Amino acid sequence: MHNGVTWKNLGIFTACVGLFALWLGNAPAHDDAVFPMARGKAQVGECGSCHTTYAPGLLPARSWRKMLGQLGHHFGEDASVQEPVRLALLKDLEDMAADGAYADMRMHRIAASVPVDVTPLRITETAYFRFMHDAVPKSFWRRKSIANPGNCAACHPRANEGHFGVRELRIPSEQR
Ligand code: HEC
Ligand code: HEC
């Protein structure tokens, strides 16, 4: 009787198990909430002087377009830059946006959490941000050491490099 189990398809099965194990083994690193950052220094210099240098993948491209179209009135501040710099910043932000061409699963989730007819200017107003920070007690946000939810780097030490992995979290205490 021939039951279909041959050395050949046993070999294929073993190879599949091996590949699956390899994929699983890579999963934790992949899960580490890392966002791509612009390689040039422009974004860090121009957009990181007043607050965290926000990863472009935290908002959809239309948000960055709107924000960079009104830098003279940026949350009550004048954040305007020279036109060539603005265009370079905009290109980087759009290329790596949550709905950009190279977005990963996490960024797709962020983009999908924003209704199509809404253009948020705040990361902290997106449903994804609210969901991810649901467990943070309200009183934490008011700590002097944090001051405001947009101060990502207060709790995510490598936020300026686009790293938000949970293992790196440091919630600053009241005293600091
Ligand atoms: C002159 C200081 C200044 C500069 C320069 C600046 N910002 Fe801001 N930005 C602010 C202030 C002030 C807020 C509002 C902070 C608050 O009250 O929550 C803000 C808020 C933001 C937010 C919303 C954060 C949230 O709450 O989710 C984003 C996104 C942002 N800025 C992006 C940028 C980008 C991109 C650039 C560079 C083109 C830039 N900023 C340059 C001052 C600045
Ligand atoms: C008060 C401290 C605090 C601040 C400030 C803060 N976060 Fe978080 N963040 C957390 C905590 C705590 C978690 C973990 C939530 C969980 O796993 O239940 C988290 C999770 C995340 C995650 C998901 C990580 C993962 O592995 O899935 C992302 C992305 C993130 N934060 C982005 C941001 C951004 C962007 C900002 C700033 C606009 C920010 N956070 C500001 C505390 C903070």
Beta carbons of 118 and 125 less than 8 angstroms apart: no
- Of ligand 2's listed atoms, the one at least distance from the Cα of 140 is 1
Report the predicted TM-score, pTM, of the whole model to 2 decimal places: 0.86
Does a structural domain hold residue 48? yes
Does a structural domain hold residue 93? yes
State the distance from the centre of ligand 2 to the C-alpha of 131, rounded, in angstroms.
Answer: 10
Condensed to tens digits (0 to 9), the pLDDT of residues 2-41 reads: 556 665 665 555 555 545 444 444 444 445 899 999 877 6
Give the residue with greater pLDDT, 175 vs 158. 158
Model pLDDT, residue 22 = 47
Condensed to tens digits (0 to 9), the pLDDT of residues 86-143 reads: 999 999 999 999 999 989 999 999 999 999 999 999 999 999 999 999 999 888 888 8
Beta carbons of 97 and 56 less than 8 angstroms apart: yes
State the distance from the centre of ligand 2 to the C-alpha of 112, rounded, in angstroms.
Answer: 18
Does a structural domain hold residue 27? no
Does a structural domain hold residue 95? yes
Q: Return phi, psi of residue 120, to 5°.
A: -70, 145
Does a structural domain hold residue 176? no
**How far apart (Å, rounded) are the C-alpha atoms in residues 89 and 27?**
32
Q: How far apart are the first and last CA of the chain?
A: 75
State the distance from the centre of ligand 1 to the C-alpha of 160, rounded, in angstroms.
Answer: 13
Number of folded domains that form the chain? 1
Can you give the residue range of the structural domain that contains 150? Answer: 42-168
Beta carbons of 86 and 71 less than 8 angstroms apart: yes
Condensed to tens digits (0 to 9), the pLDDT of residues 50-86 reads: 999 999 999 999 999 999 999 999 999 999 999 999 9
Does a structural domain hold residue 77? yes
Q: Average pLDDT over the chain, rounded to whole? A: 85
Does a structural domain hold residue 146? yes
Does a structural domain hold residue 16? no
